[in-house]
Amino acid sequence: MSKADMGRRYRLYPTAEQDVTLTGWGHTCRTLWNVALEQRRLYRQRGVTLMGGEQCKQLAQARAEVEWIKDLPSECGQRVLANLDAAFLNFWNPDHPAGFPSRKKRGARMSIPFKGQTLVVRKLNRHWAEVKLPKLGWVRFRMSRALGGTIRNAVVSRDGNGWHISFGVHSSRTPDAPNGKPACGVDFGVAASAFVSTEKTPRLMPPTLSRNERARLRFLERRKARQLAYAKKHAGGRYGNRLRKTIAQIAALRTRQANRRQDFTHKLTTGLAKNHGMVGIEDLRVKNMAKSAKGTIGYPGAKVGQKAGLNRGILDNAPGERRRQLEYKCAMYGSKLIAVLAFHTSQTCAVCGKVDPDSRQGCGRLFSCVHCGHEDDADHNASLEIEARARRTGGSVTNSTHSITTVRVPAPCRRRTRETLPATYG
């Protein structure tokens, strides 16, 4: 069966009764994940690799005995174990950045996976549709755009803004032929969200929260701290209803912020992929860039505060997510994505090609070449340099083969050693 190659996410509106059931299932899925993960760790200590198939048999036994496990549709439990398998396979794959699968905390985003075969979707009117979920019946969702294919799987999740359903969809869409449009290089910066080499001004991300929303967030954070202190002192650390309400209000604001960021990123990457025949980007290692500068007790880091602020800037701009989106959108719209080496792009002159740190005076936005006198916005200069590097590595645009070309940066050996594994593992 052809796989899902596209995602569709809609807001789900369960009834009060369905809400209670879904919340229960969400907690069951989380517990199941944590228990299965712990079991695998214990088996591993005895030198046995336990996988989802074996655990599925045990799950079937547990369903006969435990009421709250029986309540969860069996396919959801099986999907949870299959997802855990996938998490381990990513961890074992030396080319994949995933770390050891982690436990799911109580306050984490809740999600319940379903298989696609059992799901039926029917349209109610122009804007509304409903999906039939096993043991739950019809649940309404806001059909904000067409499905565009056949459903392969679904995940019901709850974040700070309520319930959503994401469908994994198989579209029969074939990628566009090379679109033959001009090439560009993009410098994703911290101050400017993105500087495209063919443009005169940077693309700035609008503030993700308004002034009032930021003030409210600060107010809620202070209230949360106060309520936490109270809970510790008077209630033995037990969360009261007011504290839970504050936490939910903070989560709603943060979700709104994340959604706006995602919206900006999608518009940016769609525009880049649609209007260019080749898009050059820097091959950044986000994980290393955003690493904390804290250091250890023996070796305290320098400029911890500044680095933390920079990290917030980097993550606010979501470089990993931008690249992920560019990868599939470039393939979709007949463009070619080329990731180039990121060394000294900010210190290289786009006109004479000389690399000199003196060309960047201080931390200013101005690039002024000490060799040929070329002056430009530093980020624009970098984007031109990225475009030039992409052209060199990617060949001419007109002859481009229709695929994503990623020039791999020779990364340091990522093979995991015993030291990097958790103490109880391996």
Residue number, 140 or 371, with CB nearest to Zn ion = 371
Exposure b/e, 202-211, CB count within 10 A at least 16 = b: bbebeebeee
Q: Would you count residue 352 as binding Zn ion (CB under 5 A)?
A: yes
Position among 115, 203, 307, 371 found at the interface with Zn ion (CB under 5 A)? 371
d(CA 311, CA 206) in angstroms, rounded, equals: 18
Residue 273 makes contact with Zn ion by CB under 5 A: no
Distance of CA 381 to the CA centre of its chain: 29
- C-beta pairs of 370-376 under 8 Å, 24+ apart in sequence: 374/349, 374/350, 376/350
Task: Identify which range of 65-73, 227-235, 369-377, 414-422 contacts Zn ion by CB under 5 A.
Answer: 369-377
Q: How far is the CB of 367 from Zn ion (least distance, A)?
A: 9
Both structure tokens of 361: 């005076």
> What are the phi and psi torsion angles at 79 (to 5°)?
-65, -40
DSSP designation for 200: S
Sole binder of Zn ion in the list 369, 378, 384, 390 (CB under 5 A): 369
**Residues 59, 62, 63, 68, CA torsion sign:** negative
Binding status of residue 256 toward Zn ion by CB under 5 A: no
351 is a site residue for Zn ion (CB under 5 A):
yes
Per CB under 5 A, does 66 bind Zn ion?
no
* Binding status of residue 372 toward Zn ion by CB under 5 A: yes
User: Residue 291 has which token pair?
Assistant: 């690493």
Instruction: State yes or no: residue 274 binds Zn ion (CB under 5 A).
Output: no
By the rule CB under 5 A, 349 interacts with Zn ion: yes
Regarding 285 and contact with Zn ion (CB under 5 A), the answer is no
Q: Minimum distance between the CB of residue 222 and Zn ion, rounded to whole angstroms?
A: 51
| # residues contacting Zn ion (CB under 5 A) | 7
Stretch of 55-63, 195-203, 292-300, 349-357 contacting Zn ion, by CB under 5 A = 349-357
At 72, which helix (H) or strand (E)? none
Of 391-420, which residues contact Zn ion (CB under 5 A)?
A: none
Structure tokens, 265 = 């990123």
| 10: number of Cβ within 10 Å | 20
Shortest Cβ distance from residue 366 to Zn ion (Å)? Answer: 14
Footprint of Zn ion (CB under 5 A): 349, 351-352, 369, 371-372, 374
